[in-house]
Amino acid sequence: MAEATIDTVTSVPVAVVGAGPAGLMLAHRLGRAGVGTVVVDTRTRHGISTTQRAGILEADAARDLVETGVSDRVLREGHEHEGIELRFGGRPHRIDFKDLVGASVWLYPQTDVFTDLADARDRDGGTVLYGIRDTEVLDVTTDAPRVRCTAPDGTRHEIRARYVVGADGSRSMCRDLVPEERRVRYGKEYPFAWFGIMAEAPPSAAELVYAHSEHGFALISRRTDRVQRMYFQCAPDESVDAWPDDRIWETLQARVAGEDGFRLTEGPVLERTVLRFRSFVQEPMRWGSLALAGDAAHTVPPTGARGLNLALHDAKVLAHVLLRALGGEGDTALDDYQPRALRRIWRAQNFSSWMTRLLHTEPGGTPFDLRRRLGELENVAGTRAGRTYLAEQYTGWPTGA
């Protein structure tokens, strides 16, 4: 697009593409240190705040929201969980995080994390342009990269920056800026997806229930005292139209049924979505003046509840190295980003794909596969070492680990 068509030019140290948790948390952290940002996103603020995503925050991530001054709402409206329940063979098996590793997690949906971060940007005078289109990221191999986009009112913006961060999610356009011959994409597809629902009903269990049955996986999570979030394994090409309420409840009940007579409290299904997922990492996470963060650089299946936590961890590490770079160290400071972020990313990749395989049933799996899976579940839930492994991975690792 020609220079003449630009209506507004803004200069900031860091331009951020993507207003999800990674992009907004990065902007918040930089803002707190006096570094200006402009964040842009193709989605509207309403669109982001109403798209259901995962709901588990590591204790460190919850603490960071409070201590960095985003909001303390997580402490008031979130729920601290000291364990989860694994259900298999028709029986419950508690994984007691507090007892095993002295840790806990917070049930606090990503939509709330987004709302807190977006409100904090407003409060602190940060610029976020929602609902933009025609995004172009230019000159990332120079020290004067630019982002151009069209705002909803039709005005063309150019943001001139020293660094650009691509935090534009699992369908990132920024990651394509790393030339094909210089990047590696690691990935794995799964032969199943999750059917996610929101139901108007009281909670069925005090903690999250991860259920494995011969019919497939189910997860019982929650949102509020009146609305619950649940998922069950389905085919990747499943259609939501084929699932009236009765069929959904019958499927979920069959997957959690057991000798203890456990039953879900049913209610009207308010929302239904098929969520496809995969494991994915792109390296390098930095190319010239561009750094990738969150789902743009890596995605995990939702089973281990790692995605949101990884995004917030990237933002923490990246804010730190960007402040060093802008504070006089220059580009060499950015060399520390990938090694510090990537170690945890691959640990989370391993855990997420392990937990996914542990709990789902493979279409076309043999009776041997099913019986072996039950043996593995017994090894995990039935030994202290197994439970400790799960608890340690699920509750997260220290920063940089």
Residue 221 vs 299, nearer CB to ligand PHB: 221
DSSP string, 71-92: -SHHHHHSEEESEEEEEETTEE
CB of 219 to ligand PHB, least distance (A): 6
Dihedral of the alpha carbons of 395, 80, 73, 112, in degrees to the nearest 10: 60
CB of 322 to ligand PHB, least distance (A): 30
Kindly give the residue spans of alpha helices, DSSP state H, lying in 269-360. Answer: 307-324, 337-359
Contact 25, 312 (CB under 8 A): yes
Asked, as a colleague might, if the bond just before 284 is cis with ω within 30 of 0, I would say yes
Contact 16, 290 (CB under 8 A): no
Q: Where are the extended beta strands (E) located within 151-244? A: 156-160, 163-166, 184-189, 193-200, 209-213, 216-220, 227-234
Instruction: Give long-range contacts, CB 8 A cutoff, 24+ apart: 334-339.
Output: 334/163, 334/286, 334/291, 335/286, 337/285, 337/286, 337/291, 338/283, 338/284, 338/285, 338/286
State which residue has the least CB distance to ligand PHB.
Answer: 55
CB of 230 to ligand PHB, least distance (A): 9
Residue 285 vs 305, nearer CB to ligand PHB: 305
Q: What does the block give as tokens for 51?
A: 């798209």
Residue 55 vs 145, nearer CB to ligand PHB: 55
CB of 192 to ligand PHB, least distance (A): 15
CB of 186 to ligand PHB, least distance (A): 22
Residue 28 vs 229, nearer CB to ligand PHB: 229
Residue 55 vs 83, nearer CB to ligand PHB: 55
CB of 302 to ligand PHB, least distance (A): 4
Residue 182 CA to residue 281 CA, distance in Å, equals 14
DSSP character at residue 4? G
CB of 151 to ligand PHB, least distance (A): 32
Residue 164 vs 305, nearer CB to ligand PHB: 305
Residue 326 vs 359, nearer CB to ligand PHB: 359
Identify the residue whose tokens are 């991975």: 393
Residue 31 vs 304, nearer CB to ligand PHB: 304
CB of 134 to ligand PHB, least distance (A): 33
Q: Which residues contact 54 (CB under 8 A, 6 or more apart)?
A: 109, 110, 302, 305, 307, 308
Residue 110 in 3-state DSSP? helix
Task: Phi first, then psi: give them for residue 60, nearest 5 degrees.
Answer: -65, -40
**Which residues bind to ligand PHB, rule: CB under 6 A?**
54-56, 208, 219, 221, 229, 302-303, 305
CB of 24 to ligand PHB, least distance (A): 19
Residue 22 in 3-state DSSP? helix
Contact 187, 281 (CB under 8 A): yes
